[in-house]
Amino acid sequence: MGAKIIQFDQGWSCLQKGITKLKKILEGAPGGHFSSEEYMALYSTIYNMCSQNSPNYSQQLYEKYGESLTEYIRATVLPSIAENHGEFMLREFVNRWANHKVMVRWLSHFFSYLDRWFVSQKSLPRLKEAGLVVFRECVYEKVKSNVVACVIGFIDKEREGGRIDRGLLKNVVDVFVEVGMGQMGGYEVDFEAEMLADSGEHYSRKAVSWILEDSCPDYMVKAEECLRREKERASHYLHSSSEQKLVEKVQHELLVVHAHQLIDKEHSGFRALIRGDKVEDLSRMFRLYHKIPKGLEPVANVFKQQVTDEGKALVQQAEDAASSQQGSNGAGAEVGLVLIREILELHDKYMAYVTGCFMNHSVFHKALKEAFEVFCNKSVAGISSAELLAGFCDNLLKKGTSEKLSDEIIEETLEKVVVLLAYYSDKDLYAEFCRKKLARRLLFDRSCNEDHEKSFLTKLKQQCGGQFASKMQGMVTDMTLAKDIQTNFEQYLGTNPNVKPGIDLSVTVLKTGCWPNYKSSDLNLPQEMVKCVEVFKGFYDSQTKRRKLAWIYSLGTCNIVGKFEPKPIELVVSTYQAALLLLFNDSDRLSFSEILTQLKLTNEDLVRLLSSLSCAKYKILIKEPNTKTVKPDDNFVFNSMFTDKMRKIRIPLPPMVDEKKKVTEDVDKERKYAIDAALVRIMKSRKVLGHQKLVMECVEMVQSIFKPDIKTIKKRIEDLITRDYLERDHEDSNMFKYVA
């Protein structure tokens, strides 16, 4: 309308005055502010120049805006930074940035009309942004390398113990960040990368000298301190995003690069720390390596090695001890007891480290497990590891062991045994041995405590599943039932005095199925015992319907009184031995063959029997001739002059079959069935499967009970092919198909 047209030069000179005043204010001149009138004047000048239709000076003014800034920078800012050094340069840098921001703010206020619509119309950067960019391009880009070098210099100085102006450094860093205007690229590339590289070098140098001079604990203390300091540094004057990177860098140089040298240090490394039980140092090692990805692996490996070595040494010791005691009978067993106890102690010791210093970390649990798996499964003196462990348990649970342990200790030890069992690969073999020994304990009343037996079985069940200990639990229950039957039998005798057999008889009735298989051999019983058997049979038939009793004389005990001339002595013998001795009630002298015919035993059994009564500690019978072993043409005479200081003696009879062999055979048989069942199950669900996969899945299926032999699996596959459960694919011999 009637607005005055402003010519460029006219308008510009007005603005120029304003800008000059602004510069003066920035330089610190007094009277430094704009009154609202001055501000309005500047603003409206620009407004007019930009809104008038022609000539429209928007474009030129936009350019002039930028120019004013660049001019000022060239004339004043850059030189002021350039002529300073070190700390002063940094201060200038910081100050000039602050100033620049103020200048941009004011100028963009003045020129703000441009922002309204010229800027977006021409798709140009807004004034403020454009203004800041100017600093970046004209100042920052030019001085940044000097600034960075300077800052890094200060950081290193501080690392060496010098004092620096942390606030100043923080300010510089802030400038770097702000100049990026939301993008971290500038900070990261221009400053952070350099800083990290320098830090890396710094610590790399330190590490190289420390690793040679310092002991492992000392080195670790230094490393921990360095990390702490760097973290603190980062939080004080670096950008937060740098902290993690810096820590990682330092960790890498100090801990990762020299990991093996540190951990394996001869007299102060991991192994030495374990040997010296240096809990604090070990914990420190854990703390340091814990944060590094995969950092704990080398530590865990050395741990595993340490445990394995110690374990293997124990096994070797046991082996040596056993072979030096070659002649003695129970050598292996005794050595075994010691070994298991030592292994349990070893486990306690190292588990304490795992839960303590190593904070229960899974990688150490795994290392411990793998180490134990290596040596626990070794056999000693020809006795398998499974049998050794079973023997140990037997010793704990039976009466009459030399050491009297308290109930709590027994419970605790049993608990630990069950934990140890997890490392054994032949768990089924262990279970079988346990079962055999349990049977002995129960039947010969050698168990120390029924509660312990029950609690042990419960623990086994918890660890290995319901199936594992079910048979044994059945056996324990059976004993209770058997006692009830015995009580009923005694009542029965009380009410039927006429059937009394004349001898005190107690019978234990076992349910087949959970007890081990016992052969009942055809012993020819003496008359007195025959009557006992008949009487009991009568009782039992009256109590139950259609149950058959199979008498296992090999498990029986008999107390008979030997009427020797010096004094009568009560002999506790097995039923077999009793039957033999009773023959001498009818004749003083008997030959081997006569006894053989009368008792109806096998040759080997009779030899064993007679040896126990004539060639062992107590000579109830005199053998003619008086040689060391029993021969088929020997004769035997009742030793009426036998005597002993005790009134009652037990005459042991060594067991019949090679128990160990039978157990191994039984277990092998069970394993074949288990493998067959697993194979069929897998093939039934998969229908078609390759050989390697089949083997792998089979192993997986049974491994909680035992570690299967690959060859056995292959053989079972072949067997299943022959029995038409599986067939090979016609084209690919490596594929199997399920035959429905």
- Give residues in contact with another protein (CB under 8 A): 691-692, 711, 714-715, 717-718, 721-722, 728, 733-736
In the complex with another protein, the residue whose CB is nearer, 524 or 734, is 734
Task: Give me the least distance between CB of 647 and another protein, in Å please.
Answer: 57
The two tokens of residue 32 are 């430094």
Task: Give me the least distance between CB of 710 and another protein, in Å please.
Answer: 8
In the complex with another protein, the residue whose CB is nearer, 115 or 719, is 719
CA neighbours closer than 13 Å in the CB half-sphere of residue 198: 17
In the complex with another protein, the residue whose CB is nearer, 399 or 714, is 714
- Cα 421 from Cα 343, distance rounded (Å): 12
In the complex with another protein, the residue whose CB is nearer, 523 or 720, is 720
Measured over all CA atoms, what is the biggest interatomic distance in the chain, rounded to whole angstroms? 158
In the complex with another protein, the residue whose CB is nearer, 498 or 692, is 692
Task: Give me the least distance between CB of 722 and another protein, in Å please.
Answer: 6
List all residues 6 or more positions away from 563 whose beta carbon is below 8 Å from its beta carbon.
none
Task: Give me the least distance between CB of 534 and another protein, in Å please.
Answer: 49
Tell which phi-psi region holds residue 622, choosing left (phi > 0), alpha (psi between -120 and 50) or beta: beta
Q: At what angle do helices 466-495 and 427-443 cross, to 10 degrees?
A: 10
Tell which phi-psi region holds residue 31, choosing left (phi > 0), alpha (psi between -120 and 50) or beta: left
In the complex with another protein, the residue whose CB is nearer, 509 or 713, is 713
In the complex with another protein, the residue whose CB is nearer, 202 or 716, is 716
Task: Give me the least distance between CB of 316 and another protein, in Å please.
Answer: 28
- Cα 198 from Cα 222, distance rounded (Å): 19
The residues pairing with 650 across neighbouring beta strands, listed in sequence order, are 572
Q: Exposure of 404 by Cβ count < 10 A (0-12 exposed, 13-18 middle, 19+ buried)?
A: exposed
376 neighbors 308 (Cβ within 8 angstroms): no
- Cα 397 from Cα 400, distance rounded (Å): 10
The two tokens of residue 444 are 């010969």
For the residues of 607-657, what is the DSSP string, one character each?
HHHHHHHHTSSS-SEEEES--SS--TT-EEEE-TT---SSSEEE-----SS
The residues pairing with 557 across neighbouring beta strands, listed in sequence order, are 574
In the complex with another protein, the residue whose CB is nearer, 121 or 733, is 733
The two tokens of residue 35 are 């009154």
In the complex with another protein, the residue whose CB is nearer, 380 or 726, is 726
Task: Give me the least distance between CB of 690 and another protein, in Å please.
Answer: 8
Residue environment code for 380-403, b if the CB has 16+ CB neighbours within 10 A, otherwise e: bbebbbbbbbbbbbbbbbbeeeee
In the complex with another protein, the residue whose CB is nearer, 228 or 715, is 715
519: number of Cβ within 10 Å? 9
- Cα 118 from Cα 62, distance rounded (Å): 9
- Angle value at C-alpha 232, between 231 and 237, nearest 5 degrees: 105
Task: Give me the least distance between CB of 695 and another protein, in Å please.
Answer: 8
In the complex with another protein, the residue whose CB is nearer, 128 or 686, is 686
List all residues 6 or more positions away from 225 whose beta carbon is below 8 Å from its beta carbon.
none
- Cα 206 from Cα 159, distance rounded (Å): 11
Task: Give me the least distance between CB of 688 and another protein, in Å please.
Answer: 13
Task: Give me the least distance between CB of 705 and another protein, in Å please.
Answer: 23
In the complex with another protein, the residue whose CB is nearer, 651 or 735, is 735
- Cα 422 from Cα 458, distance rounded (Å): 15
Task: Give me the least distance between CB of 473 and another protein, in Å please.
Answer: 38
Task: Give me the least distance between CB of 377 and another protein, in Å please.
Answer: 23
- Cα 443 from Cα 510, distance rounded (Å): 10
**Helical H runs in 160-237?**
166-179, 185-186, 193-213, 216-237
- Cα 343 from Cα 416, distance rounded (Å): 10
In the complex with another protein, the residue whose CB is nearer, 129 or 719, is 719
- Cα 684 from Cα 59, distance rounded (Å): 84
76: number of Cβ within 10 Å? 15
In the complex with another protein, the residue whose CB is nearer, 406 or 722, is 722
In the complex with another protein, the residue whose CB is nearer, 421 or 689, is 689
Task: Give me the least distance between CB of 526 and another protein, in Å please.
Answer: 47
Task: Give me the least distance between CB of 664 and another protein, in Å please.
Answer: 19
List all residues 6 or more positions away from 440 whose beta carbon is below 8 Å from its beta carbon.
446
Task: Give me the least distance between CB of 717 and another protein, in Å please.
Answer: 8
In the complex with another protein, the residue whose CB is nearer, 256 or 713, is 713
Task: Give me the least distance between CB of 428 and another protein, in Å please.
Answer: 22
Which residue, 375, 365, 263, 357, is CA-closest to 310? 375
In the complex with another protein, the residue whose CB is nearer, 35 or 733, is 733
Strand order in the sheet with 569-574: 557-562, 569-574, 648-650
Task: Give me the least distance between CB of 685 and another protein, in Å please.
Answer: 19
Task: Give me the least distance between CB of 455 and another protein, in Å please.
Answer: 44
